[in-house]
Amino acid sequence: MPCQNPNTFPYSSLDPAQREIRLIRFADLCNQNRQTETIRLELQHASLNSDISYAALSYVWGDPSNEATVHINGEPMHVTRNLYDALQQLGQNGVTSWLWIDAICISQSDLEEKRCQVDIMGDVFGSADLVYMWLGPGCEGSNIVMDIISRFGARLHAAGALEPPSDRCRATKARQYVALRLHSDSTHLQDVSELDLAVYDLICNFSSRSLAMIDGLCNVLQRDYWHRVWIIQEVVLARRLCVMIGTRKVLLEEFDATLEALWWCRGLNRPDDPVGRSLFTDLSGTSYPPQAIKARSYHQAGSEFRLEELLWEYGAAPDRPHYTATDPRDIIFGLLGLLANENRHGLRADYEMSFVDIFTKFTRSLIENSSENAYFRLDCVNPGDPNGQLPTWVPDWRDIGKYGVETWPIHYDHLYRASGGQPEQTKAQHSVVQDNLNCLRQSGCLVDEIIEVMPPPQWFQVSRTDPSFLENPDKWFSSIVAFMGLGKDSGPVEDYIWRTVGCHKYVDRYMRTWIPEKGVGAEFRMTEGLAWLCRRIMRLETVDPTKLTEEQDRLIRTALERWNREPILKGTLVDEQVKRFAWELRDSLSRSKRNRTLFKTTKGMLGLGHVGVEAGDIVTLIWGVPSPIILRPRNEGTYYFRGDAYVDGIMYGEFLANEPTETDFDIY
């Protein structure tokens, strides 16, 4: 008998009105646990409107060219090897319940059925008695990790490791207790909770075989399972979940509680390590929690999902993508089940639309519904390729999922108001221009034209998933001095330059957050003493520690304490400490301004825009967008989007005092 694949298997039609789904179970329940036995399944229809009992499988399809054969109602069918392994393990575990598995239970070649099934996917996983999370076959490292979780997970969960406190006090207290116990034999510490004791026992057990555990954690957390976009919905909406890796299985709450506790202690010094390494620093700090588990916690706290908050990732990818989908349309469709109707941006699972149209429609809706305080706005977008598939104002959401946002927006840690609170865009007037989905019409005003751009430095990336950096940040600052034609003598007249590259904002942050008498939310104004220190450091000039004012000295000490994670330094600062502060400040600025360069305008303005801005580009203000926007003239009065910018002197609405003429910009 010829073997079927899911595209040619003889399915009978489902009834959407009855919310019908297909379910399978092992046909030979007596022999299902024999590893050599052919996997035989029976398939039936069921209605979600009825009281049915079943489990669902959450998994990654895997390599489509690596196939195995199962038999369904007597018909052979090709499935991927990863799904075959999951079925084989479920059989060996004695699972007898009905199962819902997308690759088998949905006719993948029937686009209308696929759309209907995607629309009820949230109900499918939310109604299942149990969801099995199949992460794939096991190995020595994953077995060690799963065995540790089996030993400590239930205890940590019962002790409250996953209870959401109003602040981080529970985690901080446990971390402090572990740190004290690691460096002291005392067991007579007061106010010790069961959670503190459980975390300490976990860390001691971990440390006794840390290298094997690190390898195992890397193996578990870097698996493809965690970045499949469908997983997010499946994990969030499930009532109960069981994590399966090879022959090992644990409940998700035990898995989460153990990994959460390990991450609380990340970075603690290990007294038993001969080279002074810290706990878990071999792992990316953002490796845990994965997107799906983070979203589940968010959902359980009663929060409402917004699609942009699930997809727009500022952080670099943690040794694995944030999310991926084999079909790029599923980046959007795979999350719709989490959203209230009013948060779906008019989207539905329509597989007759191209991914370009779906990405464009979604981004347009975000921009049209944004405000100055929105999570995503036009000034968030990294400019696209004018010759690419997508309009230049539409992010490639595939790349955001794989790598995160590669160049942070100017407003990332500071809210500007360059458009001065002007009325936001009128949707009816500024939406699709002549039914052209690719054209975004925005109202605003022209500020100036760019006439000169500083040649950008060469930014390096170890890999595409790593943030870019400068090998020698000091060369960048030397180039700025040359580009601006600065002489030997410095003074307040040049402060606008260092304000543009962000130095004053960094000092502002140190002063507000790390110096107690300033406090978070306290008003701060750059003093001449601190501005002088900025000028010296940005120009790569020597700073004599013996001539520092009390304010300058305190700033340096506070910053060094933050970087070193040690108490504020005592005694007089020495040259090496001041030099380190200066270098760290320049390095931090270069990293936060990655992939950006300076430009000058015809009116003498100085700005910082995306690498790729050119002479002839224009600076604009777009109503409702806090940062200035760079546009490139295209043809017939239309434009390409070239990203956001900092332009000194207009970031707080000052330009609007000139009463500029309002203009409509058609952006492609």
pLDDT in tens, 613-625: 999 999 999 999 9
- Whole-model pTM above 0.95? no
What pLDDT is attached to residue 36? Answer: 54
Question: What pLDDT does 568 receive?
Answer: 64
Q: How far is CA 447 from CA 92, 296, 343, 547, 598, in A?
A: 69, 45, 35, 43, 17
Helix, strand or coil, per DSSP, at residue 601? strand
More confident of the two residues 101 and 348: 101
- For 457-511, what is each residue's pLDDT tens digit? 998 888 877 788 899 999 999 999 999 999 999 999 999 999 999 877 777 766 6
Question: CA triplet 308, 312, 313: central angle to 5 degrees?
Answer: 150
Phi/psi at 487 (5° precision): -85, -170
pLDDT per residue as tens digits for the range 305-353: 999 999 999 887 888 899 999 999 999 999 999 998 888 988 999 999 9
Question: pLDDT for 409-428, tens place per residue?
Answer: 998 878 899 998 666 555 44
- Give the least confident one: 71-85, 98-112, 505-519: 505-519
**pLDDT for 2 beyond 60:** no
| Six token digits for residue 544 | 């004599």
pLDDT tens-place string over residues 279-307: 777 777 778 889 999 999 999 988 899 99
Confidence of residue 54 (pLDDT cuts 50, 70, 90): very high
The pLDDT tens digits for 175-220 are 889 988 887 766 667 789 999 999 999 998 876 667 788 889 999 9
b/e 225-256 (16+ beta carbons within 10 angstroms → b): bbbbbbbbbbbbbbeebbbbbbebbbbbbbbb
